[in-house]
Amino acid sequence: MTAALGELRSRFSGVRQGEVASYIPELRRADPDAFGLALVSMDGHPYSVGEARTPFTVQSVSKPFVYALALAELGLDEVSAWVNAEPSGEAFNAISLERGTGRPANAMVNAGALVASSLVPDTPEHPRFDRILAFLSRFAGRPLDVDEAVYRSESVTGDRNRALAYLIRSAGRLPVDPVTATQTYFRQCAVRVNAVDLAVMAATLAHGGENPVTGDRVVSEEVAAQVLAVMATCGMYDASGEWLLRVGLPAKSGVSGGLIAAGPARFGLASYSPPLDAAGTSVRGRAAFAALSQRLGLHLMLNPALPGSTVTLVTTGEDPLPGGGPVAGETGKVAVVAAQGALDFTAAERVLHGLDEAASGGAPSVVLDLARVDGIEPVAYAMLRQGLARLERAGHHVALADPAGRLAAPPGGGRPRDGGPPRFATRAEAAARCAREGGR
């Protein structure tokens, strides 16, 4: 991974297009040659090259995370009453307000971000900005701070954002006064990070809301998915469609040169390189992400179906029973299906198909061997329990080799509706029981 990142860095570090943002005067001081790349895996392994530890202000890359905080505090329905989730097709600082209602288009453009950060609760013990900073820090897995010089610089010059805040307030769509809203928003944008922090933050969203480095559950899986969805459609402003088409990953750009992308259940990626294109995206970052996506096949819609390795054995009962135990070698009595790995929807469908095939041979009993299954999703649990119940209703004896109790109770809590088929530690024991019962 480090070599792949290093290769990208050398390939694109010579690119000279783009301009360092200057409308926030302090950002002009950034080194246009700085170029850092970082990737964090779902096991929390960090890989980085170049200026990946150089501090810069997070700017708009904060927006998905503050949106996450608003969603975690208030829920999607309440947040959506204040800020929509439609791509605006406009620049970051456009007056992207819904006709008639004045509701901002989405939380990735400034108008929506002002509203999202204003929705964060504010109490004397936990002031709004403290919550935001603490929350961003949990995403990054270390305490972050504010670059006061950049904050002041944007505060002094940020009239357009102030104007936006007043406009939204006048439409009754800003929950706090415009001065407070912009102060909080400017501070949030001035939080200092580096590319490795951003990669950990992106990886936390990709990892279903749990920081893969610290193990901290920052938001629920549901909130993480909601944020990634809005990043995918709106994260790159008026370049969002083109980005999803070519790079195919939920992403967010920032005007200081930071860029993140998340591969759901795969990785978090970040870059730092200050020169920007017309849409406010880091030129080198964009080039590097596009090349990496292509080279590693990371496009979300490019999901090649891997050959099924879930079902390792299907016997119909015609074949002699494999393995040791009292009924080994017998035929005609017990059909067997064995599965392995982690069972999700796709894998459960394979197992169900295997069970059908096994039962079609006419054997009175069916054994499902889950001894080598090492995880099961709630949907797979429900599918298998229903499939096995159907086999029982059709008159088969069913038994499980399920030493870990994968089908004993729904994963993640909840009570089973009934006990389900009898469970045994081994396939041989399950087959022996079936052979006895089936022979009755």
Q: Is 60 an interacting residue with respect to ligand GLU (CB under 6 A)?
A: yes
> What's the closest the beta carbon of residue 166 comes to ligand GLU, in angstroms?
15
Q: Is 281 an interacting residue with respect to ligand GLU (CB under 6 A)?
A: no
Q: Of 154 and 402, which CB lies nearer to ligand GLU in the complex structure? A: 154
The alpha carbons of the chain give a radius of gyration, in whole angstroms, of 27
Q: Of 59 and 96, which CB lies nearer to ligand GLU in the complex structure? A: 59
Query: Which are the contacts of 267, defined by CB distance < 8 A and separation ≥ 6?
Result: 39, 40, 41, 42, 203, 206
Q: Is 116 an interacting residue with respect to ligand GLU (CB under 6 A)?
A: no
Question: Binding mask 391-430 vs ligand GLU (x if CB under 6 A, - otherwise)?
Answer: ----------------------------------------
Residue 225 exposed, middle or buried by CB count within 10 Å (0-12, 13-18, 19+): middle
Q: Of 281 and 365, which CB lies nearer to ligand GLU in the complex structure? A: 281
Helices (H), 297-411: 345-359, 378-393
> What's the closest the beta carbon of residue 287 comes to ligand GLU, in angstroms?
19
Q: Order of strands across the sheet with 56-57?
A: 56-57, 191-193, 145-146
DSSP assignment string, 275-321: -B-TTS-BHHHHHHHHHHHHHHT--TT--PPPPP-SEEEEE-SSSPP
Question: Binding mask 12-51 vs ligand GLU (x if CB under 6 A, - otherwise)?
Answer: ----------------------------------------
**Residue among 280, 285, 364, 421 that touches ligand GLU (CB under 6 A):** 280
Q: Of 154 and 429, which CB lies nearer to ligand GLU in the complex structure? A: 154
Name the region of 209 (left: φ>0; alpha: ψ -120 to 50; beta: rest): left
**Residue among 9, 39, 51, 59 that touches ligand GLU (CB under 6 A):** 59
Q: Is 211 an interacting residue with respect to ligand GLU (CB under 6 A)?
A: no
Q: Looking at residues 251 to 270 of the shown chain, list those that interact with ligand GLU (rule: CB under 6 A).
A: 254-255
**Residue among 189, 359, 384, 398 that touches ligand GLU (CB under 6 A):** 189
Q: Of 178 and 280, which CB lies nearer to ligand GLU in the complex structure? A: 280
- Residue 242's SS3 state is helix
Q: Is 239 an interacting residue with respect to ligand GLU (CB under 6 A)?
A: no
* Contact assessment for residue 249 and residue 299, using Cβ atoms and an 8 Å cutoff: yes
Across the strands, what pairs with 252?
A: 260
> What's the closest the beta carbon of residue 119 comes to ligand GLU, in angstroms?
17
- The size of the interface with ligand GLU (CB under 6 A), counted in residues, is 11
**Residue among 67, 92, 135, 272 that touches ligand GLU (CB under 6 A):** 92
Tell me the residue nearest to ligand GLU as measured from the CB: 60
For residue 208, the Cα-to-chain-centroid distance in whole angstroms is: 5
**Residue among 147, 154, 238, 429 that touches ligand GLU (CB under 6 A):** 154
> What's the closest the beta carbon of residue 49 comes to ligand GLU, in angstroms?
23
Residue type, 46: P
Q: Of 159 and 418, which CB lies nearer to ligand GLU in the complex structure? A: 159
DSSP element (H, E) containing 224? helix 221-234
**Residue among 84, 106, 110, 118 that touches ligand GLU (CB under 6 A):** 110
> What's the closest the beta carbon of residue 186 comes to ligand GLU, in angstroms?
7
Q: Is 104 an interacting residue with respect to ligand GLU (CB under 6 A)?
A: no
Q: Is 240 an interacting residue with respect to ligand GLU (CB under 6 A)?
A: no
Kindly report the number of other CB atoms within 10 A of residue 177's CB atom: 13
Question: What b/e readout covers 183-207, taking b as 16+ CB neighbours within 10 angstroms?
Answer: bbbbbbbbbebbbbbbbbbbbbbbb
Q: Of 254 and 317, which CB lies nearer to ligand GLU in the complex structure? A: 254
**Residue among 161, 281, 293, 310 that touches ligand GLU (CB under 6 A):** 161
Contacts 24+ apart (CB under 8 A), 118-124: 118/174, 118/175, 118/176, 118/180, 118/181, 118/184, 119/70, 119/73, 119/74, 119/79, 119/82, 119/83, 119/175, 120/66, 120/69, 120/70, 120/73, 120/184, 121/73, 122/176
Return residues touching ligand GLU (CB under 6 A). 59-60, 92-93, 110, 154, 161, 189, 254-255, 280
